Amino acid sequence: MVMAHPRKLVALGDSGVFGWGDPLEGGWCERLRRHWMELPGGPVLYNLGVRGDGLERLTARLKAEVGCRGELRRQQPQGILLGVGLNDTARVGRANGRPQLDGEGFLFGLQQLLHQAKAIAPVFVIGLTPVDEAAMPYAGVLWYRLDDIRRYEGLLEEACLEADVPFLPLLEGLLADPDWPQWLASDGLHINSEGHRQVYRRVSSWPALLAWADLVPLAGLTPMG
């Protein structure tokens, strides 16, 4: 049965959510938006990714961004998808410099963010994507390292388990494919079109998100690539 008013999902995050690096299809979030538009009763997806966003900047805009996406009858969106953390891992000035947000601060801030977001709507969190360390520093000043990214994705998972929020890990699954370096842009940080396709495949078949969207019967279909 098609809902009179489709569910609305707000995706908040950084350049990965925004779709940077994918000039072909606009990123994994845009691919998902288009896919859902083709489905009877598919959710409405708002992409609110902002390049360069870290945890603190995303938290600062959470309520305002989500609050004005009700669309119909002053309704609130029925779901929030978060994709953040990669920028927080970056070490500033040198390879062993301080991260933009240290692990302890990241975990505490994430716990607060999840608490705030859950008070608005059901929350979903995705993990982090790999980088090419040989291409660092990014923009001449930021060093991203796989060990740091692995640690911060672990903190994402820890906070989600504590808050009973569905979490979709990405890093290890992507690294398990020997072709993963080919999924990165030349800057070594952003995923390219193929990288976004790989993330899209995982997000679009995520059981927790499909259940929320009431699309479980459609999960066996081959999604748009």
Q: What is the pLDDT of residue 216?
A: 67
- Which amino acid is located at 83 in the chain? G
Q: What is the pLDDT of residue 6?
A: 81
- CA–CA dist 209, 166 (Å, integer): 8
- Identify the CA nearest to 139 among candidates 187, 172, 174: 187
H or E element at residue 153: helix 146-163
Q: What are the pLDDT tens digits along the chain (225 aa)? A: 444 678 899 999 999 999 999 999 999 999 999 999 999 889 999 999 999 999 999 999 999 888 777 666 567 888 999 999 999 999 999 999 999 999 999 999 999 999 999 999 999 999 999 999 999 999 999 999 999 999 999 999 999 999 999 999 999 999 999 999 999 999 999 999 999 999 999 999 999 999 999 886 443 444 433
- CA–CA dist 43, 35 (Å, integer): 10
Signed CA dihedral, 41, 66, 16, 51: sign only: positive
Beta strand spans in the chain (E): 8-13, 44-49, 79-83, 91-92, 123-126, 142-143, 167-168
Strands 91-92 and 142-143: antiparallel
Residue with tokens 């692990």: 103
- CA–CA dist 81, 200 (Å, integer): 13
Q: How far is CA 140 from the centre of its chain?
A: 25
Q: What is the pLDDT of residue 149?
A: 98
Give me 105's structure tokens: 């601060």
Q: Which residues contact 129 (CB under 8 A, 6 or more apart)?
A: 16, 86, 149, 170, 171, 174, 191, 195, 199
Q: What is the pLDDT of residue 224?
A: 39
- Identify the CA nearest to 127 among candidates 152, 104, 109: 152
Give me 121's structure tokens: 């709507």
With a threshold of 0.85, does the pTM exceed it? Answer: yes
- CA–CA dist 190, 172 (Å, integer): 17
- For residue 168, what is the DSSP state? E
The Cα angle at residue 4 between residues 221 and 124, in degrees rounded to 5:
55
